[in-house]
Structure 1
Amino acid sequence: MGDLIGPRLYSCYNCRNHVALHDDIVSKEFQSQKGRAYLFSHAVNVFTGRKEDRQLMTGMHTVADINCRDCKQVLGWMYVKAYEDSQKYKEGKVVLEKYKIIREN
C-alpha cells in the first residue's frame, strides 16, 4: 500500500494559514485586476469584510472582501449577490487571487 497523502490545500501567501481545499475549486478561469484567480465553493479560516456593490467584468455584483483570519490580508472576495441571471451561480462562492495563495501538497 502507498503512503496516504492528505488533501491538497491552499494557504495564505503571507502566513500559511490554510484557507481552501483543492477539491472545492469550481473554476480556474477567473480574472482579478492583478491576474488569475480561482472560484471556490467556500473558504475556511477567513472572514468577510463589508458588503459593497462593484462593477466587475461580468456585470454588477454585491461582493465582500475575503480576509485571512490570522494575518488579515485580503485574499479575494465573496459574491454575495449577482444582478444578472447568468451570474447567479456565483452567489455565496469565493474568489481567491492566485498570487495571494500557496498550493500545499
Structure 2
Amino acid sequence: MGLIRKRFLNGDHIYGCSQCATHLAPKDGIMSTAFQGQNGRAYLFRAVVNIIEGPAQERPMTTGKHVVCDIECMECHQVVGWRYIKAYEESQRYKEGRFILEKKLLTLLS
C-alpha cells in the first residue's frame, strides 16, 4: 500500500470537513441542494476528494432502494455522507456515481 496524499482544491468557496477542514468539494460542484441526510439538509455533488469509502450496502431511502457506501474524511475519519453506487429505479439513475455531503458536517472555506 502506498502513501495517500491529500488533495487541495483551488478557487473560492471550497467545502471542507467541519471537524478538520480537509478539502472535500468545490461549491460549484453542487448538482442539487434539495437532499436530506441523516443530520438534516444535504447536497448532491458531482465529485468529492479526500474521502475513504466504506463497504457497499443496500439501503431503502425516500426515493426508493439504492446501493450506497458511506464516505468519511480521510484525515479525521468523520462520516460526511455517502456515494450512490446503484439506483434501482430508472428515474433515480442520475445519482449513480454521485456523492451526498451533509451540510451540518461541512464548513465553507475561503
1:53 to 51, 58, 66: 58
Question: Separation in 2 of the partners of 1:30 and 1:62?
Answer: 17
Aligned residues with identical type, % of pairs: 48
* Partner SS state of residue 15, structure 1: coil
Aligned partner of residue 54 in structure 2, secondary structure: strand
Q: Report the 3-state secondary structure (helix = DSSP H, G, I; strand = E; otherwise coil) of the residue aligned with 1:11.
A: strand
**Which runs of at least 4 in structure 1 moved beyond 6 Å after TM superposition?**
none
Instruction: Establish whether residue 26 from structure 1 lines up as the match of residue 31 from structure 2.
Output: yes
Q: Describe how 1:88-103 pairs up with structure 2 within 5 A.
A: 88-103=93-108
Following superposition, the deviation at residue 47 of structure 1 comes to 1.2
Structure 1-normalised TM-score? 0.93
Provide the rounded CA distance (Å) in 2 between the counterparts of 1:81 and 1:6.
31
Aligned 1:1-105 pairs, distance under 5 A = 6-105=11-110
- What is the number of residues matched between the two proteins? 101
Whole-Å separation in 2 of the counterparts to 1:44 and 1:30: 20
Question: What CA distance in whole angstroms lies between the structure 1 residues aligned with 2:84 and 2:31?
Answer: 13
Q: Secondary structure at the match of 1:50?
A: coil
Q: Which has the higher strand share?
A: 1
- The one-letter amino acid paired with 2:69 is A
Which residues of structure 2 form unaligned runs of 5+?
A: 1-9
